[in-house]
Chains A and B, each alone.
Chain A
Amino acid sequence: MKFGVVVFPGSNCDRDMYNALVHDLNQECIMLWHKDSDLSEFTTEDCIVLPGGFSYGDYLRTGAIARFSPIMQSIIEFAKNGGKVLGVCNGFQILCESHLLPGALLRNNNQQYVCKNLYIKDVQDKVYKIPIAHGEGRYYADDATLDILEKNNQVLFRYCDEKGNLVPEANPNGSVRNIAGICNETRNVFGMMPHPERACSSLLGNTDGRKIFEILFSEVMEGVI
């Protein structure tokens, strides 16, 4: 399995993602340019990562312009053929804009950008400390869509308190049902607002991000959950 990290103009977590994958997780990783569209060196075993940042400045609506970039056309095709795609933060927003994932990410309910550590839990109720950093991270979908997501176990991470309780105070942006991360029905496209790549090094004092990657790249993708 190898990784390709897309660089859009305005991406600013691309190098962080690369560093985490290569130096902390010992993975093979290639940087991809938004104007290119050739993904022929990737197979469905591989994973394309859309990193965080402000693609094309995000002056319109987050991810709305990136969705039309040349590389996204190839990535949409790649995902439809079963290729694995991960979007973090701005990457999650782009995946929703591209309709590879259901729902949308709206402006945080307190109208402010927020960057801090918080807690999320996986479907097995394991709690992780993880950073967030976004202004538009309020996940929204209609109830029917949410019910389907939950029925299919597509909601993979929810905001919770330190002990794992799904309380409103633990929800940093007003996301419906405390949703922090989801996958698509075929479980090959995944998006999350928190930044696991920022929590992979002991020098930074938090390695919970490694566990998040492990979940993503083994259990989820292989359909274990």
Chain B
Amino acid sequence: MEITAKTAQQLRLTEEEFELIKEKLGRTPNFNELCAFSGMWSEHCSYKNSIKWLKTLPREGSRMLVKAGEENAGLMDIGDGYGVVFKIESHNHPSAIEPFQGAATGVGGIHRDIFTMGARPIAALNSLRFGNLEEAKTQHLLAGVVHGIGHYGNCFGVPTVGGEIYFEDCYHTNPLVNAMSVGIVKAGKTVSATALGEGNPVMYVGSATGKDGIGGASFASADITAESTEELPAVQVGDPFQEKKLLEACLEVIETGAVVGMQDMGAAGIICSTAEMSAKGEVGMRIDLDKVPTRQHHMKAWELLLSESQERMLLVVEKGKEDVVRKVFDKWDLESSVIGEVTTDGLLSFYINGELEAQIPAQELVLGGGAPQYNRDFRRPAYFDKIENFDINQIEEPKNLKELAAQLVQLPSIASKRWIYNQYDSMVGTVNASTNNPSDAAIVLVRETGKALAVTVDCNSRYVYADPYKGAMIAVSEAARNIVCSGGQPLGVTNCLNFGNPFDPEVYYQFVNAIKGMGEACRKFDTPVTGGNVSFYNQNPEGPVYPTPTIGMVGLVEHPGKKMTLNFKTEGDSIFIIGHMKDDINCSEYLHKLKGVEYSPAPYFDLEEEYDLQHKISELIKEGVIESAHDLSEGGLFITLCESGFTNELGFTVRTHKDLRKDAFLFGESQSRVVVSVSPAHFEAFENTIRHFPHYEIGIVSTGKVEIDGEEWGDIHYWKELYDASIEKHLSKEIESEALGML
């Protein structure tokens, strides 16, 4: 078979990249080698179109125990001799084609990134985006994704403690499925994804290799088109039971001290794990591919190299300790095979039955080595003009506020997500302290230290679409605010950067400016970016998705018993808004969904004000003078009040502000504001602390009735029922047809 630039193109490499490969090798690659480059130089593995900008993010901090991007996930010090390991990753493309397996393997993959470092995953989160929930396609995708996440996470036995879901038309063809995992590791027990020591055996453990997921990394590096379903074999198939055994066996084998390095086999399978481990250790490997356990006969070298079969790990172990390792995997009924050894020549040499099938210098394949890095053009998007043309006076101040509120509370992006989260095991592990008393971030107990983590995922992508720079700052700020409102101190960030096609200069403008905004906010809050994932090509012939730089943030709660919760506690407590009040309805759910305004600027936001607000909230919590804290986000004040009322079924009596439009007061999404409740006993102390900070007393907590400006708006139960039932109503048809399918 003659290898030409055309072959390279079919493997999604450009002509220039093909020339570069020939230059690096000093010869024309054979097909196996070209496949290896295709996987490793794909956007997914190489970050070739993003890395230059990612390097501008703040990636250092006193608590960071590994450098950003150096290992499979971020690792930060949480004191008492323990570290937190966390990462978020996308599985958008497979989920668009096969939602159940796509989402399931997304969950499996992210947990593997955590335990490959020696940490035990203790919490999972997810961030999802779908199209309009009225559409049958969206219902199908949502049901499949939720089922997939539940199927994998529930069996694997890690609680899903938090998440977010938005429904916007731009995600109709390209849903986003971002999964995050958080684990705990004892200092000194971490394992690096590094190969070291000439002659040390390379072991393959876990499930056998099949033909599933071949080319998954390059599949995820292209737009979704009508032909994408033909790439179904690029979707992997997950087995959470295998992964559960793999987790226990890997943590057990680390205890034996026999492991030199370990890396999971995710995107681009064997080629990626061998290349990255070797490159990091500045060594090579000789691998006998015929020793790889397979599910199918006669698999070719390139298939073995690129397969993304799930639940597999590559280990480099100390020579002579193979049996120690094998014994552990035998105990867990998992396959383990020595498939090669570490060499000093820096070459990856792959053999089948003694025949050399591929030979490539490991460094040439990896990010930071030979993989190309590009600058892409960007220009200000044309739609910005329409955004700048918006003026609040174009919207008449409405009279039917109660009716609008009732519509708002039922919007799928706002309404209760219980149909979704009730399908996830949120309590396994007995560490989820938010089940019975919710906070803005999920509180996860760290049994080993007696402290807790506050974890959250956040991104309002409509804000980012309206203003990528400010929108990304808001995403970081909201994550930090959620942690602060829970009584935590933000520690660090993992990001999942979901964008359209990087060759589209307007998309790239969104990317560049989102990175700049994210960097600035992360520096302000001293929350370094510890790692994450870039997912480009979330685009179809009709256009890209909203730019969606999802922020996963982890914070530390020193005293879990003193965490702050979001729910009102007692009738008669005073309700305050802390922060600035603005006549602002920009980019709100109200404006977008109820008034049909597609283009408006991002809501009011000032990073300094946000920073000051968070400090003030922390102070109020520390002094013990507030009973609840809940930040204002989608849907504005009215939704925030409802959510604070629902848990204990308490209502609120509230007066609007004379200087503000009523729709802006009730439904505006101006940033950097928090609703707190204060008991009469703490009123004076509260006033002393808040005196020189913007705050507004807006009403009191009631036994159940909801009253705005003296007008009765019904009982909190009425609002709760609307809120709880909305998504279920949308999905009842889907449930019926799925149930029929099962009969």
Q: A113-B150, A116-B422, A198-B427 are in contact. Are A12 and B433 (CB under 8 A)?
A: no
- Roughly how many angstroms separate A195 CA and B435 CA in the complex, as a whole number? 14
Contact A9 B156 (CB under 8 A): no
How many whole Å from B464's CB to the nearest CB in chain A? 32
Q: Which of B150, B154, B436, B738 is close to A205, meaning CB atoms less than 8 Å apart?
A: B436
What are 19 A-B pairs at a CB distance below 8 A? A9-B244, A10-B244, A12-B157, A19-B447, A52-B428, A54-B154, A54-B155, A54-B240, A56-B241, A57-B239, A58-B241, A112-B422, A115-B426, A117-B436, A133-B427, A198-B427, A203-B433, A205-B435, A205-B437
Is the pair A113, B436 in contact by a Cβ cutoff of 8 Å? no
Interfacial residues of chain A within 102-150, with CB under 8 A of chain B in the complex: 110-117, 131, 133, 135
CA–CA, A114 to B436, complex, Å? 17
B-chain residues with CB within 8 Å of residue A201 when the two chains form the complex: 430
A59-92: which have CB < 8 Å to B?
Answer: 59
A-B pairs, top 6 by smallest CB distance, nearest first, are A12-B157, A57-B241, A205-B436, A54-B155, A16-B430, A133-B425
In the bound complex, what is the Cα–Cα distance between A69 and B531 (angstroms)?
43
Q: Assuming the A-B contacts A12-B157, A12-B428, A111-B739, are A54 and B436 also in contact, with contact meaning beta carbons closer than 8 angstroms in the complex? A: no
B423 and A115 form a contact (CB under 8 A): yes
A197 at the interface (CB under 8 A from B): yes
User: Which residue from B157, B239, B426, B436 sits with its C-beta under 8 Å from A53?
Assistant: B157
- A29 CB-CB contact with B under 8 Å: no
B743 to chain A, nearest CB (A): 10
Q: Does A204 contact B (CB under 8 A)?
A: yes
Chain A residues whose CB sits within 8 angstroms of the CB of B244 once the complex forms: 9-10, 12, 54
Question: Given B156, B423, B429, B739, which contacts A16 in the complex, CB threshold below 8 Å?
Answer: B429
> Could you tell me how many residues of chain A have their Cβ less than 8 Å away from some Cβ of chain B?
35
CB of A183 closer than 8 Å to a CB of B: no
Tell me which residues across on chain A come within 8 A of B738, comparing CB atoms: 111
Are A204 and B432 in contact, CB atoms less than 8 angstroms apart?
yes
8 Å CB contact of A195 from B239, B427, B447: B427
Contact status A12-B427, CB under 8 Å = no
Q: Would A10 and B435 count as touching, CB distance under 8 A?
A: no
Give the chain B neighbours of A16 by CB distance below 8 A.
Answer: 428-430
Bin the interface of chain B by size: 35 or more
Query: Are the CB atoms of A198 and B426 closer together than 8 Å?
Result: no
Beyond A9-B244, A20-B430, A133-B428, 5 additional contacts (C-beta under 8 Å) are A54-B154, A57-B155, A110-B735, A112-B423, A113-B425
Q: Is A49 an interface residue (CB 8 A)?
A: no
Q: What is A's interface to B at a CB cutoff of 8 Å? A: 9-10, 12-13, 15-16, 19-20, 52-54, 56-59, 110-117, 131, 133, 135, 195, 197-198, 200-201, 203-206
**Interface membership of B445, Cβ < 8 A:** yes
Q: Tell whether, in the assembled complex, residue B425 and residue A10 are in contact, meaning their CB atoms are under 8 Å apart.
A: no
> For residue B438, which residue of chain A has the nearest CB?
A205
Instruction: Assess the A115–B422 pair: CB atoms within 8 A.
Output: yes
A57 and B154 CA atoms in complex are apart in Å by 11
Within 8 A of A (CB), among B389-442: 418, 422-430, 432-433, 435-437
B154: which of A111, A113, A195 is its contact (CB, 8 Å)?
A113
Number of A-B contacts (CB under 8 A): 98
One digit per residue, 1 when the CB lies within 8 angstroms of any chain A CB and 0 when it does not, for chain B 503-528 equals 00000000000000000000000000
Task: Indicate with 1 or 0, residue by residue over B125-153, a CB within 8 angstroms of chain A CB atoms.
Answer: 00000000000000000000000001100
The CA-CA distance from A113 to B419 in the complex, in Å, is: 11
CB pair A204 B430 closer than 8 Å? yes
B561 interface residue (CB < 8 Å to A): yes
Q: Is B154 within 8 A of A133, CB to CB? A: yes
In whole angstroms, how far apart are the Cα atoms of A201 and B242 in the complex? 31
Say whether B333 faces chain A, with CB atoms less than 8 Å apart: yes
Partner of A113, one of B242, B245, B423: B423
Residues of B participating in the A interface, judged by any CB pair closer than 8 Å: 150-151, 154-157, 239-242, 244-245, 332-333, 418, 422-430, 432-433, 435-437, 445, 447, 560-561, 735, 738-739, 742
Nearest-Cβ distance from residue A35 to partner chain B, whole angstroms:
8
Question: In whole angstroms, how far apart are the Cα atoms of A113 and B239 in the complex?
Answer: 17
Nearest CB of B to A38, in Å? 17
Chain A residues within an 8 Å CB radius of B242? 57
Smallest distance from the beta carbon of A22 to chain B beta carbons, Å? Answer: 12
Q: Are A12 and B156 in contact (CB under 8 A)?
A: yes
Which chain A residues lie closer than 8 Å to B240 at the CB level?
54, 57
Alpha-carbon gap, A10 to B156, bound state (A) = 8
How many angstroms from the CA of A110 to the CA of B436 in the assembled complex? Answer: 24
Q: Which chain B residues lie closer than 8 Å to A133 at the CB level?
A: 154, 425, 427-428
- Evaluate whether A204 and B154 lie within 8 angstroms (CB atoms) in the complex, with A9-B332, A57-B239, A114-B423 already known: no
Complexed CA–CA distance, A100 and B331 (Å): 28
Give the complex CA separation of A15 and B122 in angstroms.
12
Could you say which of B151, B427, B447, B738 has the most chain A C-beta atoms within 10 Å of its C-beta? B427
Which residue, of B422, B560, B742, has the highest number of chain A Cβ atoms within 10 A?
B422
Cross-chain contact of A54 among B241, B424, B430, B560 (Cβ < 8 A): B241
Given the known interface contacts A133-B154, A205-B433, A205-B437, the answer about A59 and B423 at a Cβ–Cβ threshold of 8 Å is: no
With most chain A CB atoms within 10 A of its CB, the pick from B150, B241, B430, B445 is B430
Among A53, A111, A114, A206, contact of B422 (Cβ-Cβ < 8 Å): A114
Complex CA gap A20/B333 in Å reads: 28
Chain A residues closer than 8 Å to B151, beta-carbon distance: 113
Contacts of A54 in B (CB 8 A): 154-155, 157, 240-241, 244
Rounded to whole Å, the gap between the CB of B333 and the closest CB of chain A is 7
Contact indicator A197/B430 (Cβ below 8 Å) = yes
Q: How far is the CA of A50 from the CA of B224 in the complex (A)?
A: 47
Q: How far is the CA of A15 from the CA of B422 in the complex (A)?
A: 22
- Nearest B residue to A204 by beta-carbon distance? B433
User: Which one of A15, A201, A204 has the highest number of Cβ atoms from chain B below 10 Å of its Cβ?
Assistant: A204
Determine the distance from Cα of A52 to Cα of B156 in the docked complex, in whole angstroms: 12
Contacts of A198 in B (CB 8 A): 427-428, 430
Chain A nearest CB from B564 CB (Å) reads: 14
Q: How far apart are the CA atoms of A200 and B436 in the complex, in Å?
A: 13
Task: Write out the residue numbers on chain B whose beta carbons fall within 8 Å of the beta carbon of A200.
Answer: 430
- Which of the listed residues B239, B332, B428, B432 has the most CB atoms from chain A within 10 Å of its own CB? B428
User: Cβ of A131 and Cβ of B435 under 8 Å apart?
Assistant: yes
Could you say which residues of chain B place their CB within 8 Å of the CB of A59?
241
Minimal beta-carbon separation of B679 from chain A (angstroms): 20
- Of the residues B241, B429, B447, contact of A9 by C-beta under 8 Å: B241
Residues of A contacting B437 in the complex (Cβ-Cβ under 8 angstroms): 205
Contact of A203 with B560 at beta-carbon distance under 8 Å, contacts A113-B154, A133-B425, A198-B427 already known: yes
Q: Indicate if the CB atoms of A9 and B432 lie closer than 8 Å.
A: no
- From B242, which residue of chain A is reached at the shortest CB distance? A57
Residue numbers in A under 8 Å from B735 (CB-CB): 110-112
Among B157, B437, B739, chain A packs the most CB atoms within 10 A around the CB of B157
Q: Does the CB pair B241–A203 fall under 8 Å? A: no
Given contacts A59-B241, A111-B738, A113-B154, contact A13 B423 (CB under 8 A): no
User: A110 vs B333: C-alpha distance in the bound complex, in angstroms?
Assistant: 34
With most chain A CB atoms within 10 A of its CB, the pick from B154, B240, B437, B738 is B154
CA–CA, A147 and B244, complex, Å: 40
Within the complex, the shortest CB–CB distance from A113 to chain B, in Å, comes to 5
Contacts of B239 in A (CB 8 A): 57
- Distance between Cα atoms of A117 and B157 in the complex (Å): 18
Q: Of A12, A15, A52, A200, which is in contact with the most chain B CB atoms at under 10 Å from its CB?
A: A12
* B426 partner residues in chain A, CB cutoff 8 A: 115
Q: Name the CB-closest residue of B to A198.
A: B427
The answer to whether A203 and B739 have CB atoms under 8 Å apart is: no
Contacts of B432 in A (CB 8 A): 204
Let me know if A9 and B333 touch, CB within 8 A. Answer: yes
How many whole Å from A64's CB to the nearest CB in chain B?
Answer: 14
* Residue of B with least CB distance to A17: B430
Is A117 in contact with B423, judged by CB distance below 8 angstroms?
A: no
Closest residue on chain A to residue B443 by CB atoms: A203
| Contact assessment for B425 and A203 in the assembled complex, using a CB-CB cutoff below 8 Å | no
Q: In the complex, A53 Cα to B157 Cα: how many Å? A: 7
CB distance from A86 to the nearest CB of B (A): 17
Query: What's the Cα separation between A19 and B428 when bound, in Å?
Result: 12
Distance between Cα atoms of A195 and B426 in the complex (Å) = 12
